[in-house]
Structure 1
Amino acid sequence: MELDDVHSILIIGPISSDKNVDLSTALYDTVDILHQLGYKISIIVEDPTSLLSSGTFYDKIVVEKVTGDNVLKFIQQNHPDAILPTVGDRNALGIVSSLNGKIGGVRVLGANFAASLATFKRELFIKRLTKANLPVIKFISSDDEKEIYNFIRAIGFPIIARRRYSNRHSSGWTNINNLFELDNFMALEDISDTKIEIERSIRGFSEYSFTIVRDRYDNSSLIGTIEDIEPIGVHHLDSNLISPAISLNDSKLQKLRNYSIKLVRSFNIVGICTVHFAYNHETKESYITEFIPRLSEETKFLEYATSYPIATVVAELCLGYHLDKLQLDAGNSFNGATEPFVDHLTSRFPQWKTPGQKYLGPSKTSDSSIMVNGFSLEEVLNKGVLNDKLNNNFERYNELRKLDDDELFEKIIHPTNWMLDVLLEAMRRNFEKPVLSEITGINLPYLAALQNIIDNSLIIREGEIDGKNVERMVEMGVKGVGHSKLLLDSPDIVTKTVVKNKRAVSVANNEYINHNYFVTSGISNELELSDRKKIIVRTPIITSKTDIMIRQFVLFQLAKSIDQNGLEPIIIGREPWNAPLSMRRKVVEIDDPHMEIKSLGLIKNESILNIIDLSKNLVDDEDKRVFRFSAQEIKNIGLEGDTSVRVMVVSDGKNYLAPSVIYQAKRDKHLYEISSVNNFMSAEDRAEIASLITQELEDDHHVDIYNFEMVKNHDHWLVTKKYRGMTTDIIRHELASSVHVIDTLVKLLLGNKIDDDLSLEKIFDNFDESYLLTIDDKRYKLLNKEEIQTKLDELRKSEK
């Protein structure tokens, strides 16, 4: 079944972990299944924290810049049978395209040379699609001004243009509507080795993406569709996304599905490919705008929306498995050919750190995103982008009410992240929906949903709730809590908030158990729990990619540890956690954007042993079972030095362990960090640091995690900062130290104790064999004990 000449695989990893959180979780699932299937796996990666504790699956981890030269050097030295770029970022495809003809018989799994190159070379992309009779926008890339003007005369305005530099970077697309704007663009300062790219503007078209998986026997399956609420012209990841695409009728959907499969076949892509479309509902024009032959943020979103284990499936397809004969893990079969049946909507809406309006265009500006589920468009909008607890919509409403009609119209014609709030206000003033749709490019189903939300708000405010409208209101996500005392007091059972199973995989795959739920309203509660004692983990609102990376890592470690200790882990959060596949059958996940699950009483209080709270604002001070995991600053004297350490400590209230000490040195305008240096500390340093920790914990008598920062001042250590709970160092501490602090914490919460009278060697004990050197928080090296000792000696010699 699988390729019999592939035994060792090199994975081209992502460049930066902070920007590729979704790839990091997909990477875990990928190497997990490859490890179970018996393959030897190596990876080249710039930042090892992106591995999310999957390091045990690898035969070799190379921490280097992810470049074509370094990949080629690894291939020449280690001779892997194949390379896998599908869990890397766009850079991985660029590397594959550059290796054509240089790697001999080494296989490229997934995206081949031609597909990888076509993601960068627009000319090749258009040529291949034109040959396959697929709809594609006419395009030119030239440094000849006469050729450019002749092309524009042929296609007419509007157009979009950008400058493409020789290093593959570009200026970003510029919308040009007339000759005057074109002349201004052409008059910009020219740069050598630069070409100008021109194509017809499709601004205002609707944007859709279709994700296809395909095996090497030409069997294909549509995993899911995504629709952008905002039209083309707004960056895909700044738009509000809905899956499945609801504004496509069956004939349109089948047309675009067939185009997607035809594209995947024309490039002979084995594995996965996401195809982006521009569609004009008035003229029925459709164009393929780009394709992504790898895992991405979109595929991770679809994996959550459909429960289809995409990363695992793609790895096996790349190895030659039949689409209908896959393995979720060793021994469990999965029919990947059955296209998922989804019984709900999933929405992904972007987040910005600052609450003000952001003008949106072709460049991404959002910091993060949140996902919600529901059974209607109104429900996902109410729970998501129009959720005042997440987006301060009430303040937006008050600001928009102050505008006159002309000022409001100005907001309508210039897209911002407040667009749905702007449209709500416009419809409250009886602006016509067809006109709004034509101006904004937002399809009428979404405007109709916004109108329903307005009508419901009026009913609630005027108290006209009766049996005729209460059920419809509940279907729209309007529940008693936080909306209306009338709804709350209503005896109608449909007003009750319940938890629904997120059923998405077809019944043909009903052996795939997925304990994933979301809070909604309805007539039945579907939450299924075992009779095991439980530890609940409550997660925070996410505000940045870095926060998400930390959360993904911590939740996985907590869930794994809780399960291994014989308890049932329950993860509750406003944004869903997409657990690695190995945990999805063991952990119960509940998506609860309104944070209602506690008030519902659906989890028996006597079955809960502990509540681990990762949030910063949801602590129950009265509940003795709540353990606050997020960082709280206890001490900060504002003193800095050229030599410092960061120490993670876990305490049972009496004794403590310090399994990870990060050394930090500022030398020659560079910042060096070494994790963890427990095995390199002198006896004097251990004694002094232990004495300081003992003094700091003298009045603390509860199970807890602490983080200390200490500065060396006149040959002595001084505590400058003290935190209770988890800091952003948690990933570095956990990955750098062979002692897992999170698992130790769970054991202590369950009543285990740290031994009395431990020696200093035991307090700081770990059995690390490799160490992480970080330079300026950008360059990473994984070194052995001798190499780290050499680097430490070098830094200490220059110590002031």
Structure 2
Amino acid sequence: MKDENIKKVLLLGSGALKIGEAGEFDYSGSQALKALREEGVKTVLINPNIATVQTSEGVADQIYFLPVQPHFVEEVIKKERPDGILLSFGGQTALNCGVELYRQGILEKYNVKVLGTPVQAIMDTEDRELFVQKLDEINVKTIKSEACENMEQTRKAAAELGYPVIIRAAYALGGLGSGFADNEEELVKLAEKAFSFSPQVLVEKSLKGWKEIEYEVVRDRYDNCITVCNMENFDPLGIHTGESIVIAPSQTLTNSEYHKLRALAIKIIRHIGIVGECNVQYAFDPQSEDYRVIEVNARLSRSSALASKATGYPLAFVAAKLGMGYGLFELKNSVTKTTSAFFEPALDYVVCKIPRWDLSKFRGVDKELGSSMKSVGEVMAIGRNFEEAIQKGLRMIGQGMHGFVENKELEIEDIDSALREPTDKRVFVISKAMHKGYTVDQIHDLTKIDKWFLEKLQHIIDIDEAMKKCNINTLDKELLRTAKVYGFTDFQIARAVGLEDELKSMRKASLVVRSRRKNYGILPVVKQIDTLAAEYPAQTNYLYVTYAGVKSDITFENDKRSIIVLGSGAYRIGSSVEFDWCGVQALNTIRKEGYRS
């Protein structure tokens, strides 16, 4: 049951957008405020970011454009006297601020109750030593790491653990100040940088090359748990999860591996005492079923936003309601409209998240990717198979229209080292290597990317190579259909069969393929994200277009009352959350005026 004593709640936002804290916390905060408003609770928001949806009129009752720092938060508490505070909807900034307020006794002084996950549980997940102790109590393996306060300790710890090691700054955002060291010289350089951000530096054994798997888990105060979504990184451990291509649900785990990690995730969050939502990250050795828990985020994260959109499960909304004291069994899923929130989504599609970088805007910047985040945004593509989803995603990030097939503009001198050292162009390097005849095994040895993914990418190249043997007149219906099912655009097909060179126009070439395709009756269908895998009727509003289907899931009403709004695409420098704000305002107005948006 809901806590009736809570009449006014303070929510901490994430402050200014930065790499590692962007639109995803505007999403989670807005959802939480919406959930509280539905409960008739007064809301107070602290967030100095003007370009967000959550700081707009009609989302929170009171908005303070102030830094998310203990001093300012105390002043607001003094003035507003809230009954409760939410800490897990504003990223690392809000979490760190909440811990400080608790330590300084400010929450106790003004009798403000922390809703959802208790502060002690947050500290247990954020402080490395406490975290390892906590998981040792239930015999769960963590990455062996030493917390060091100075350079001498750091050197000693690395020598004891044995190189290669990874260095991390504690309490830092988006992997700030972290990296891999193969020897003492690299260690000193990294540690000096890390100490400039944080009083505590963690040295841990490197598990580079293991798989990285994440589970999004929800728990209520009655100890009911569900895993909403599990995701798998295309890139092996060693690249920050925000820099990785991520696939949901995981594709390469066996049934026993999947259930082993799921059961562990639930055991962990019960023991830590999370109330609401959290995400558990694992390193997983594909050779032996050995695993390590990398970390637990006791808050919504960028992965949570992905999990929510990928499954149609309103994670942030549900987490806010659980913080108010509800049980999972008392809540409806506000997206599907038909099931309770106590229901694990089952997916009959694949979702692929691809990050977007803007590194070319800066002179002299290191293009290499590692444990510190550099991406400014990401896209999500939905398909009926992995090949379709990744091809769509690669086109969405705006790095050319070629999907996974050869990007002729990309020039690489040494393919081996380009595969070994990941950069923002790595996936296109794999495409180049495959065209040059590298085998899946060779690429796997250089990148440690799971062979399943590489075989699927090889499949895309094989279709491309098969089309290159045809011209437009010899391209048969079956091959054309196959290309469309696996995510090729008309333009990619036109290029493969040599039409683009022949007609000297991209547009004309695409139109020729399009008319041939229509003559064959190869047309797309519109599918709805069905998170219940057709066990129950679902009514989500997430739609995708695919050629791997027989009929559309929805009927289009031709009532001349529909308006399309175009968004800005992936975040980049110069085009970010402010256009989300514009889109939301436009859509609200369209709906108010009685049109369909």
Report the TM range for the smaller structure's normalisation. 0.7 to 0.9
Q: Tell me the equivalent position of 1:503.
A: 530
Q: 1:56 aligns with which of 34, 55, 58?
A: 58
| Of 113, 116, 120, the match for 1:110 | 116
Cα-Cα RMSD = 3.2
Alignment partner of 1:417 is 2:424: yes
Does the C-alpha gap of structure 1 residues 491 and 185 become closer, same or farther in structure 2, counting only changes over 3 Å?
A: closer
43, 46, 49: which is aligned to 2:48? 46
Alignment partner of 1:226 is 2:231 = yes
Give TM-score scaled by structure 2 length: 0.85
Larger RCO: 1 or 2 (CA < 8 Å, sep 6+): 2
Structure-1 residue corresponding to 2:346: 341
In 1, Cα distance between equivalents of 2:276 and 2:439:
46
Secondary structure at the aligned position of 2:97 is classed as helix
Cα distance change on mapping 1:161 and 1:277 into 2, 3 Å: same
C-alpha separation between the residues in 2 aligned to 1:525 and 1:208? 33
Whether 1:133 and 2:175 are equivalent positions in the alignment is: no
How far does residue 143 in structure 1 lie from its aligned partner after superposition? Answer: 3.8
One-letter identity of the residue aligned with 1:530 = E
CA contact (8 A) 1:500 1:520 kept: yes
Pairs aligned (count): 563
- Do the aligned partners of 2:53 and 2:581 also contact (CA within 8 Å) in 1? no
Do the aligned partners of residues 473 and 226 (structure 1) sit closer, same or farther apart at CA in structure 2, a change above 3 Å counting?
same
Is the strand fraction higher in 1 or 2?
1
Change (3 A) 1:219 1:508: farther
**Contact 2:212/2:236 (8 A) holds in 1:** yes
Q: In the alignment, what sits opposite 1:525?
A: 552
Secondary structure of the equivalent of 1:385? Answer: helix
Pair 1:489 & 2:489 matched: no
- Report the secondary structure of 1:50's partner residue: coil
1:310-709 equivalent positions in 2, closer than 5 A: 310-327=315-332, 334-353=339-358, 358-385=367-394, 390-391=399-400, 393=402, 397-399=407-409, 407-463=414-470, 465-466=475-476, 469-480=479-490, 482-484=492-494, 489-490=516-517, 495-505=522-532, 510=537, 513-521=539-547, 522-532=549-559, 533-544=561-572, 547-569=575-597
State the TM-score, normalized to the length of structure 1.
0.65
Match of 1:20 among 19, 22, 30: 22
Unpaired runs of at least 5, structure 1: 570-800
Match of 2:241 among 230, 233, 236: 236
Pairs within 5 Å for 1:195-210: 195-210=200-215
Which residue does 2:499 correspond to in 1?
none
- Per-residue deviation, 1:556: 1.6
Letter in 1 for 2:163: F
Check 1:492–1:242 CA distance in 2 against 1; reply closer, same or farther (3 A cut).
farther
CA distance in 1, matches of 2:441, 2:476: 31
The alpha-carbon distance between structure 1 residues 326 and 396, as it changes in their structure 2 partners (threshold 3 A), is same
Over 3 Å counting, the alpha-carbon distance change for 1:38 and 1:546 in structure 2 is farther
Looking at structure 1, the residues matched to 175 and 360 of structure 2 have their Cα atoms a distance apart, in angstroms, of 29
Secondary structure of 1:294's match?
Answer: coil
Letter in 1 for 2:436: R
Give CA-to-partner distance per residue, 1:62-86, whole Å, 9 cap, x none.
2221112222333344332211112
**Aligned-residue offset at 1:553:** 1.5
Aligned-pair identity in percent equals 25
> Alpha-carbon deviation of 1:132?
2.0
Deviates more, 1:204-213 or 1:22-31: 22-31
Match of 2:575, SS?
helix
CA distance in 1, matches of 2:221, 2:27: 25
Larger radius of gyration: 1
What SS class does the counterpart of residue 397 from structure 1 fall into?
coil
Deviation at 1:176, TM superposition (A): 2.1
Q: CA deviation at 1:408?
A: 1.4
Q: For structure 2, which runs of at least 5 residues remain unmatched after alignment? A: 495-511
**Counterpart code for 2:347:** V
Show the counterpart of 1:713: none
| CA deviation string 1:250-285 (max 9, x = no partner) | 111111111111121111110000111111212332
The answer (yes or no) to whether the contact 1:33–1:329 under 8 Å persists in 2 is no
Which deviates further from its counterpart, 426-435 or 38-47? 426-435
Task: Specify whether residues 189 and 286 from structure 1 end up closer, same or farther in structure 2 by C-alpha distance, changes over 3 A only.
Answer: closer
Quote the Cα distance in structure 2 between the aligned partners of 1:220 and 1:472. 41
